Structure 1
Amino acid sequence: MVVDIFIPCFIDQFYPETGFSMVKVLEKAGVTVRYNKNQTCCGQIAFNSGFWDHAKAMGEKFIRDFKDCSHVVAPSASCVGMVRNYYDEMFYNSALHNEYRTLKKNIYEITDFLVNILNVKDTGATFNHVVTWHSSCASLREYGLKDEPGILLRHVRGLKLVEMEDKETCCGFGGMFSVKNEPVSTAMAAHKVEMALKTGAEYIVSTDSSCLMHMQGYISKHNIPLKTIHIVDILASGWEL
């Protein structure tokens, strides 16, 4: 199987190691990974900010960059949710309507792809830490992830997964929401971090690096003994041991 990967802006600019981790996980699962160097943003930030013309232009490029791919996989439920849910509003009955409909069926968030397409539950990872799970708004409400992340984490050797209260509550990032409504956004991050601390976990884990960056900013500013990590980095860890 050949898989084309999409590397979102946050991964590309701030967490490139997570992109490499995804490649490692996919290759270990037996697939051939391709990367189109011409790919750029899916347009989510522009779309959510109300700049639909800019978002549509970016979306047109995105569709053309991945139009001939049978499987597109990304380490972001947020970006994939954007393509699956909101491209309809921009490309319905347009010249790219058919290409978009095909892409919509073929693009996946990484944990969904591993569990439900490749039937992989154990990546062979080892991570000797206590972690708690943050369900991002995008993964839960837009993409519709359910048990896939938990299935994968429970097969990681040495990992202990503990659930926090309010695990499905927003962390306060919300893209431009965190910029335009900073006090509310910060209070939401504080609540989420407090819930994570109560579990005794060492790490907060999620599918979305934007949420993790938001919470890590609060954690670092207040010197809280807690860390954040993308699930893909866990799934690719410990293979040398």
Structure 2
Amino acid sequence: MNDLFHNAAPNATRTAPPLAPPRTYPPQKPTQVYLFGTCVVDLFYPEAGMDSIRLLEREGIRVHFPQEQSCCGQPAYTSGYTEEARAVARTQLALFAEPWPVVVPSGSCAGMLRHHYAELFADEPDTLRQVRDLAERTYELAEFLLHVCQVDYQDRGAPTKVALHTSCSARREMQTHLHGRALLGQLQAVERVDHDHESECCGFGGTFSVRMPDISGAMVADKTRALQDSGAAQVLTADCGCLMNINGALEKQRAALRGEHLASFLWRRIGGAV
């Protein structure tokens, strides 16, 4: 979800957060991690969550999934409901007490944990320390597989062409386009094709798509048109909100093209799925 559509208070001045310095990755992969599954994965794409777990377990990592987890608080935050977002975020903070990495199969939700919780709790020094600790150990899934696990995948699938959609906020805050491209680049029989509007929002934006449906619809029309024109046989993304929006538009258009979460595609291509 894109914080471009945040409803700030009247006359408030908001600036984009400064670019984060390059991350320093641990020299060895951990033996245990948390998975923050996100509400959209939980409710609409549970297979993406399960495939994320399978990819992590394949690396010899034990995955912990706190059952009480829910939303990261981003819908409330980007709609201007700061107190409600703070309440949701505070609940999530209590669930990840062990010093394990928190892996998120969504670049936009990972960005919320890593970059925006600090703004929510800027006036609570004790909580802010906890937030900063969580931020330092929060990773988007593709980033974690690439830089922490240092995976080297061998492709077991048939030749295919894919287009990679990287959501606007995840691209800006978590560099998901670079991580996704690098992982796909390891798959010998997969050709990633570029498409127009690749860096642009698909129009979902969480509550933005509800509050401004005409603009949102025009944006996803541009996105799906470019994806179909690219010649790709499949669309991939690491954000299920975008996946839901793009697939919904393609289905309404009666197009043959469909999208899939990157985790499920990777799991199948490396021969993990039966």
1:83 partnered with 2:113: yes
Kept in 1: contact 2:236–2:260 (CA 8 A): yes
Alignment of 1:49-198 (within 5 A): 49-94=79-124, 95-122=126-153, 126=157, 128-198=159-229
Distance 2:140 2:174 in 1: 8
Distance 1:228 1:197 in 2: 11
Aligned-residue offset at 1:62: 0.8
Read off the aligned partner of 2:174 and give its amino acid letter. Answer: Y
- Give TM-score, length-normalised by structure 1: 0.94
1:203 partnered with 2:234: yes
- Give TM-score, length-normalised by structure 2: 0.83
- What's the C-alpha RMSD, in Å, of the aligned pairs? 1.6
Kept in 2: contact 1:125–1:235 (CA 8 A): no
Question: SS state of the match for residue 151, structure 2?
Answer: coil
Distance 1:123 1:65 in 2: 35
Relative to structure 1, the CA distance from residue 128 to residue 23 in structure 2 (aligned partners, 3 Å threshold; closer, same or farther) is: farther
Distance 1:26 1:44 in 2: 25
1:214 partnered with 2:225: no
Distance 1:80 1:40 in 2: 14
Kept in 1: contact 2:166–2:177 (CA 8 A): no
Distance 1:24 1:122 in 2: 14
Kept in 2: contact 1:125–1:236 (CA 8 A): no
Relative to structure 1, the CA distance from residue 74 to residue 127 in structure 2 (aligned partners, 3 Å threshold; closer, same or farther) is: farther
Structure 2, unmatched stretches of 5+, are 1-30
Read off the aligned partner of 2:55 and give its amino acid letter. Answer: V
Aligned-residue offset at 1:98: 1.2
Distance 2:189 2:241 in 1: 26
Aligned-residue offset at 1:155: 1.9
Aligned-residue offset at 1:129: 2.9
Aligned-residue offset at 1:24: 0.6
Read off the aligned partner of 1:237 and give its amino acid letter. Answer: R
Q: Aligned match of 1:15 in 28, 31, 45? A: 45
Kept in 1: contact 2:155–2:189 (CA 8 A): no
For residues 204-235 of structure 1, give each alpha carbon's deviation from its aligned partner in whole angstroms, at most 9, with x where no partner exists: 11110101111111100110121011101111
Kept in 1: contact 2:197–2:222 (CA 8 A): no
Deviates more, 1:116-125 or 1:173-182: 116-125
For residues 146-170 of structure 1, give each alpha carbon's deviation from its aligned partner in whole angstroms, at most 9, with x where no partner exists: 4211111122353221111221011
Aligned-residue offset at 1:93: 4.1
Aligned-residue offset at 1:125: 5.6
Distance 2:158 2:39 in 1: 27
Aligned-residue offset at 1:69: 3.3
Kept in 2: contact 1:127–1:157 (CA 8 A): no
Deviates more, 1:155-164 or 1:99-108: 155-164
For residues 6-51 of structure 1, give each alpha carbon's deviation from its aligned partner in whole angstroms, at most 9, with x where no partner exists: 1100000000000000011001122111111121211111111221
Distance 2:246 2:79 in 1: 22
1:46 partnered with 2:76: yes
Structure 1, unmatched stretches of 5+, are none
Distance 1:123 1:64 in 2: 38
Kept in 2: contact 1:123–1:235 (CA 8 A): no
Question: In the alignment, what sits opposite 2:6?
Answer: none
Runs of 4+ that moved beyond 4 A = none
Aligned-residue offset at 1:67: 2.7
Question: In the alignment, what sits opposite 2:25?
Answer: none
Distance 1:186 1:37 in 2: 35
Distance 1:234 1:105 in 2: 28
